[in-house]
Structure 1
Amino acid sequence: MRLFKHTLLPLCVLLIAGCQQMIAHHVPTPMFNFMPVPAQLNEQGWLERFQFSGIVEESMLVSTEFTTSSIKVVALTFEGVPLTQLQFDTQTHELTSSNTLGVELDGKKIIYDMQSAFWPLAMLEQNMHVDNQVIELDKPTQRTRQFYRSNTLVREITYNGAFTLLTEYEQNYRLKIERLEEY
């Protein structure tokens, strides 16, 4: 009994805690397939301020340029120093990235978040995986997109003028985007 209390019981507790950590870091499968650049965004660009809240607190400027075949993203400090760059091929879904100051960003996650927030609703609906759904609610002062997995709200995006707030419930983060310029 003493062996159990002093050796096996602590090992069981550690095993259970380890399993909970593995479950907590589980990244859910995407709700939709990656999509091509919509015609209305082709040859367009944005400059935005991103503020991340969640596991990491981070703010940066993000410049995004669209062509029919690619999405180019450059993340910068507020002083204009490049942090990271990525290019996403919309046909092959290949991602090329370079990290100037050692800032590691998940490029495909950035593209996924961007598409869920800014691609037309009809494109999202056509590319949703089974048992997933997106709906859009229009109110006089704001618009909201809600993403459901098995009838559970997992992501919500609220649009209010130049501000977009993306709340990711499954992965526990929030992204506030302020559109500074379109070109």
Structure 2
Amino acid sequence: MAQDSSEDTITRWRTKSVERSIADTDEPDTKLRKSLTWWDLTVFGVSVVIGAGIFTITASTAGNITGPAISVSFVIAAIACGLAALCYAEFASTVPVAGSAYTFSYATFGEFVAWIIGWDLILEFAVAAAVVAKGWSSYLGTVFGFGGGITEVGAVQLDWGALLIIAFVTAILAWGTKLSAGVSLAITVIKVS
């Protein structure tokens, strides 16, 4: 019994070598196709930066709460984003496979930490998607005059506008990366203009 416990402990903290990670990504069954160009990736980056918050929060915050201090907060945020980008560039050069922080933590800290990081990334993306969908739902509700699309189902408030936005984005992502890059380009052009 004690041996099983020690084997479980060893398994939780085992790491995966960079060479093994690269070999795993070269297997024909699991290999990812390169379908995006540098232009598509640039558009994705710009579309993430110019999100719902620029339209829904910035103007009201600057006008009602912070005033010109919001410019300083943008500079601080830009510096923090630049440092985060440098960290991810180091990840990519150290462990040159898909998987970002998950793969890097697997190679350096072990399987258990990588498991926590993987679930943390899923939670982070889910919360971010919910916030952005809610922001766009509120914004479009104001523009088109339907008040945000909130329906009460018992004690729960359901934002059908946010649900429709998430369903639309999920369908686009399921149809393919190249299509989502094209839609992202179109939405970014609309947002910038």
- Same fold judged by TM-score > 0.5? no
Indicate the structure with greater strand content. Answer: 1
Q: TM-score, normalised by structure 1?
A: 0.24
From the CA coordinates, give the structure whose radius of gyration is larger. 2
Q: Greater share of helix residues, 1 or 2?
A: 2
